[in-house]
Structure 1
Amino acid sequence: MKRRKMVAWIFTILFGLLGWFVYGLARILSSGNEYMYVGFLCMAFFIAGNYFILNIHKRVKQKWTWAIMVLIFIVPSLLYGSYDWYIRSIEIANAEGDLSTYQPYKQGSELALLDEPAALQLEENLPELDGATALYPVYAAFAEAVYPERTYSYEDRSESPVTVSKTNGAFQRLSKFQVDIIFTAGPSDEQQEALKQMEKTAIGKEAFVFFVHNDNPVDSLTLKQLRGIYAGEITNWEDVGGRNQKIIAFQRPEGSGSQTGLENMMGKNPIMDPPKDQRVNGMGGVIEKASDYRNHRNSIGYSYRFFATKMVEGHHIKLLNINGIDPSVPHIKRGDYPLTGNFYAITNGTKNPHVEPFIEWILSSQGQQLIEDTGYVPVKETDLP
């Protein structure tokens, strides 16, 4: 009997390990798509197999059978789920970049600085600023140049006049008159409808970019090919000069700045509805997904050039040329890169008397110089080479 009992335990352990191995293999091979559920089916099969093996041995009582099931499957599932959540939280946090390095008046800040005092100096009734994550280094530089020295926490919306709520959150706050100016790319149709008194002033230019993993042999796509991918008509990299692999086309939530950029690029072409796990909240999360962390080497994502190349570094991605043109500063300046667009200072009927002079200063040579020194392209020529 002891020998039979030992054999039952050995088979239990082997089936448990094999179940988790097949589950993990299914996750890797599926690259996060719907075939991941094959892993759950495998787990269910091995649970049934374990239950059968344990129960053919009369010495093993029913209550111990269920206790073993809990130990082998439920406990590891909880541990794995907790670990997976933890890794995802680190992944997104790291991917979004460290905004504290651009905080106004913070020692060691990476903000662009003027060589002389700003022509505009504000001491009180400071305009409340908010905006897209990618543009925080720009308007934080404006604040350090014009606002008085103090602590400006980008997370403290109750105390700091210079915060980051991301594009959709910034538009929501502007519609509720909680801020005076937001800095974003152009609004979506829904956002524009919500801002009845909206005035937008173009202050700089930027490239909307698409990227893939470094190992992807595709270096360039046409606008027609991009539209085909995001319409769900082109589904394999082989169709655009790559390997025979399924294209995983990540998207952002509705109302985000980069999703609006995608909508503008698509024009009247409908955008496919992606699987739930291919819609990523953070703009940096899309970059992380396209890197090699979770083996998504057959994926494609989109962002803005400065964010993807300066604010989030150390990821194994490359920017694609569009219609054979790379998204470099000279090509953005000349308008050669086909997905070049403006970013704006946007107001919504603010009563703050300093808003208009502040925007005028942004369009001055000093404000435009800060935009260029940050790494963006100004809408007006500066004295810089």
Structure 2
Amino acid sequence: MKNLIISSISAVSLMFGASAYAASTVTVSGSTSVTGVMEVLAEKYQAAQADAVEVQGTGSGAGIRAANDGTSMIGMSSRAVADDELKAGVKQFTMAMDGIAVAVNNANGVQDLTAEQVKKIYMGEITNWSEVGGANMPIVAVTREVGSGTRGAFEDIMGLIRKINGQKVTAISPRAQVQSGNGAIKTLVANNPAAIGYISLGSVDESLRTVKVDGAPATKEAIRAGEYGVARPFVLMVQEDTAAEAQRFIDFIMGEEGAQIIESEGYIDVQ
């Protein structure tokens, strides 16, 4: 009987210990562009140890707020984050670089655009493909939603910001169609011969085609060489006193295995 009691206590202790460790969950939220590669990183990480990782694509703005408020252990942004956007005690670092690919339908004959032409298309000043060497058909410009890190980075890089009464506002035409997420833009562009959109380089597939910008292709090699200028960082934000399980996951992301996964997913590691 004594041995049975001891065995039972041991079993309960083992169960409690295992569940307590398994209950260590790393929460990550923010940019939908970063979410794809983060989910792959989380899957690989969880396969090797007991910590769980929960990833939510809520947008870069929400990721910055989550890091500031501590509602997520790790926040994600797909644009550069200004120091004054972060509260004291919150640090940031770049986990990868990503190109923003300007993409068109596979049936579109336009191969190359200048940055100025792309800007004018999104401002609504160039409205027909024939104005840039394409077929005679109206251009359907597709953009991301306000608050998207991809949109914020695209606006900054392409000069699509203007000031009104001292306030920065978008210069993207209100006629541009708004879509939430890379997937939605890909689907629309892939199914509309007149459409043009911008998406994360790591999201590009055969369903649509990228165009050169100022003669440079949207490739990792061109970004590394500084030739393709439409690129932005993938930023992670954590509080300085972050939990040990979150730090373990960050160490994995920023280590050699994380760098290999980032590269294999089509992004540029910064190790």
TM-score by length of 2: 0.76
Matched, 1:363 2:263: no
Contact 1:195–1:348 at 8 Å: present in 2 too? Answer: no
Describe the SS at the equivalent of 1:207: strand
Counterpart in 2 of 1:178? 71
Measured in 1, the distance between the counterparts of 2:182 and 2:145 equals: 10
Matched, 1:206 2:98: yes
Matched, 1:273 2:166: no
For residues 7-22 of structure 1, the aligned pairs below 5 Å read none
Counterpart in 2 of 1:138? 37
Assess, with a 3 A threshold, how the Cα gap between structure 1 residues 188 and 228 changes in structure 2: closer, same or farther.
Answer: farther
Shift of 1:218: 0.7
Measured in 2, the distance between the counterparts of 1:247 and 1:356 equals: 46
Measured in 2, the distance between the counterparts of 1:182 and 1:141 equals: 16
Assess, with a 3 A threshold, how the Cα gap between structure 1 residues 351 and 173 changes in structure 2: closer, same or farther.
Answer: same
How big is each residue's C-alpha offset from its partner over 1:191-216, in whole Å with a ceiling of 9 and x where there is no partner? x7553244221121111111111111
Q: Specify which structure has the bigger relative contact order, considering alpha-carbon pairs within 8 angstroms and separated by 6 or more residues.
A: 2
Shift of 1:170: 3.1
- Read off the aligned partner of 1:308 and give its amino acid letter: V
Shift of 1:379: 0.9
Counterpart in 1 of 2:268? 377
Larger radius of gyration: 1
- Read off the aligned partner of 1:226 and give its amino acid letter: V
- Read off the aligned partner of 2:55 and give its amino acid letter: V
- Read off the aligned partner of 1:297 and give its amino acid letter: P
Counterpart in 2 of 1:228? 120
TM-score by length of 1: 0.55
Fraction of identical pairs, as percent: 25
How big is each residue's C-alpha offset from its partner over 1:308-328, in whole Å with a ceiling of 9 and x where there is no partner? 32xxx6x3x211111111112
Please give the root-mean-square deviation of Cα atoms over the aligned residues, in Å. Answer: 2.9
Assess, with a 3 A threshold, how the Cα gap between structure 1 residues 329 and 229 changes in structure 2: closer, same or farther.
Answer: same
Counterpart in 2 of 1:24? none
How big is each residue's C-alpha offset from its partner over 1:310-360, in whole Å with a ceiling of 9 and x where there is no partner? xxx6x3x21111111111222223232111222122224553244445434
Measured in 1, the distance between the counterparts of 2:156 and 2:265 equals: 25
How big is each residue's C-alpha offset from its partner over 1:269-320, in whole Å with a ceiling of 9 and x where there is no partner? 5413323x7112233222222122xxx32121111111132xxx6x3x2111
Greater strand proportion: 2
Greater helix proportion: 1
Contact 1:208–1:340 at 8 Å: present in 2 too? Answer: yes
Measured in 2, the distance between the counterparts of 1:123 and 1:146 equals: 13
Contact 1:185–1:343 at 8 Å: present in 2 too? Answer: yes
Structure 1: 5+ residue stretches without partners: 1-121, 153-159, 381-385
Measured in 2, the distance between the counterparts of 1:179 and 1:136 equals: 14
Assess, with a 3 A threshold, how the Cα gap between structure 1 residues 323 and 202 changes in structure 2: closer, same or farther.
Answer: same
